[in-house]
């Protein structure tokens, strides 16, 4: 026998979709409290009758039109008819886990090899049609929670998700080695495909996330193509890095040459000579190393050739050359006749040295020819 007056409400956890109140066969004047995020459905003799939104209700004839005709027959404020009430949670329930129970086999569109993958993630659901969900899934059961709901949907989820995954990968030519970059678009595409499936049961698929793709790591064929895929990017990156390194090295060497040249120019300016004069010093030094300074007499170098060297060194070298030329132009003393063989060897040596000086820019072609002719006349 039901109580004269009682309160029907539900304040359970948020992982529940549908909950049946344990009180049955309640009588007139019973209080029904429905919260903002809930709906309540009355059953009379196994039939779903009135639905109530948020608010407080007194179960009287005028408030329950469809069952009023039954309550009108109540005797002593009690009804002999079987009554039930179900509470439906309308909040969006998130973090509902899903995952494929086996891998999906398809032909990888980029490299054309067969591959088996799995997937898992989370979704959020919300009751869109309370009556449809209650009638199609709950029936006479007292409770429908997240885990039970997922178990109901597992079979069609596995079938549909596997089919949609293979279709999406093929139609969009998604490379298996780059699929992690497409998880957001992949999730959106899967959600659009699954929305009608859930809507058939009065549920709204609010969000759907693919968070993990299970790849066949360790599979020989998969690892071979994986190596080939990443090798091409590694080779390109390595070539670019090597090119950048070579460029930096070349720029550094060029900058070192510029700095060294600037330092040399500053040094010459401070010491009062030019680059051409410095080259003259180098040639003179080489000549002096090959033969003693006193043997400049064999070269027949004119005063004007070394006079341009400049500075104290130029004066010294120019004086030495002048003395050498004076000695070279003196007539051969009869008391010291030169042997023809020695004269020819000396002549050849002088010509070679004059050639070096001409190539170094210390004497002109004309001066070279004049000196050569003079030395030849001295021999004859």
Domain spans in the chain, listed from the N-terminal domain onward: 7-89, 93-216, 220-271, 275-379
CATH architecture of 93-216: 2-Layer Sandwich (3.30)
Q: What is the pLDDT of residue 220?
A: 83
Cβ partners under 8 Å of residue 362, min gap 6: 280, 283, 305, 306
Q: What is the pLDDT of residue 292?
A: 45
Q: How far apart are CA 373 and CA 379, in angstroms?
A: 10
Beta carbons of 347 and 375 less than 8 angstroms apart: yes
Q: What is the pLDDT of residue 279?
A: 67
Q: How far apart are CA 355 and CA 206, in angstroms?
A: 95
69: tokens are 């005709």
How large is the C-alpha radius of gyration of the chain? 53
* 138 SS3 class: helix
Interaxial angle between packed helices 311-329 and 275-290, expressed in degrees from 0 to 180 and rounded to the nearest 10: 50
pTM above 0.75, yes or no: no
Parallel, antiparallel, or unpaired for β 143-145 and 16-20?
Answer: antiparallel
Q: What is the pLDDT of residue 64?
A: 55
Average pLDDT across each block of 10 residues of the chain; the chain has 380 residues. List them in order. Answer: 69 88 78 92 82 86 50 48 86 89 81 85 93 86 88 82 84 84 89 91 93 85 81 73 82 84 78 69 61 45 43 46 50 51 74 80 83 79
Cβ partners under 8 Å of residue 146, min gap 6: 15, 17, 93, 96
């Amino acid at each position: 026998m039901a109580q004269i007056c009682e309160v029907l409400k539900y304040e359970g956890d948020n992982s529940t979709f549908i909950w049946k109140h344990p009180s049955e066969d309640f009588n007139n004047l019973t209080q029904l409290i429905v919260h903002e995020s809930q709906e309540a459905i009355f059953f009379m003799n196994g039939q779903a009758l009135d639905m109530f939104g948020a608010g407080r209700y007194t179960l009287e004839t005028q408030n329950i039109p469809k069952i009023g005709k039954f309550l009108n027959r109540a005797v002593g404020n009690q009804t002999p008819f079987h009554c039930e009430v179900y509470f439906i949670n309308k909040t969006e329930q998130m973090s509902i886990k899903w995952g494929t129970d086996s891998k999906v086999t398809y032909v990888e569109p980029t490299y054309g090899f067969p591959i088996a993958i799995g997937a898992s993630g989370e979704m959020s659901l919300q009751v869109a049609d309370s009556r449809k969900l209650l009638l199609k899934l709950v029936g006479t059961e007292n409770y429908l929670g997240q885990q039970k709901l997922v178990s109901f949907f597992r079979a069609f989820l596995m079938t549909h998700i596997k089919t949609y995954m293979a279709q999406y990968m093929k139609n969009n030519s998604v490379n298996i080695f780059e699929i992690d970059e497409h998880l957001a678009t992949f999730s959106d595409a899967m959600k659009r495909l699954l929305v009608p499936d859930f809507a058939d049961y009065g549920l709204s698929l609010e969000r759907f996330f693919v968070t993990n793709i299970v790849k066949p790591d360790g599979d020989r064929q998969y690892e071979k193509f994986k190596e080939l895929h990443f090798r091409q990017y590694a080779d390109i990156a390595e070539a670019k890095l090597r090119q950048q390194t070579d460029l930096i090295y070349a720029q550094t060497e060029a900058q070192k040459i510029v700095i060294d040249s600037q330092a040399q120019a500053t040094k010459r300016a401070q010491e009062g000579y030019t680059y051409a004069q410095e080259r003259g010093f180098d040639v003179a030094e080489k000549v002096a190393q090959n033969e003693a300074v006193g043997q400049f007499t064999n070269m027949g170098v004119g005063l004007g050739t070394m006079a341009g060297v400049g500075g104290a060194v130029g004066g010294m070298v120019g004086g030495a050359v002048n003395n050498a030329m004076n000695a070279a132009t003196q007539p051969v003393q009869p008391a010291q006749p030169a042997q023809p063989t020695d004269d020819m060897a000396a002549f050849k040596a002088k010509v070679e040295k004059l050639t070096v000086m001409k190539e170094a820019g210390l004497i002109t072609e004309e001066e070279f020819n004049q000196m050569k002719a003079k030395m030849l006349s001295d021999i004859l």
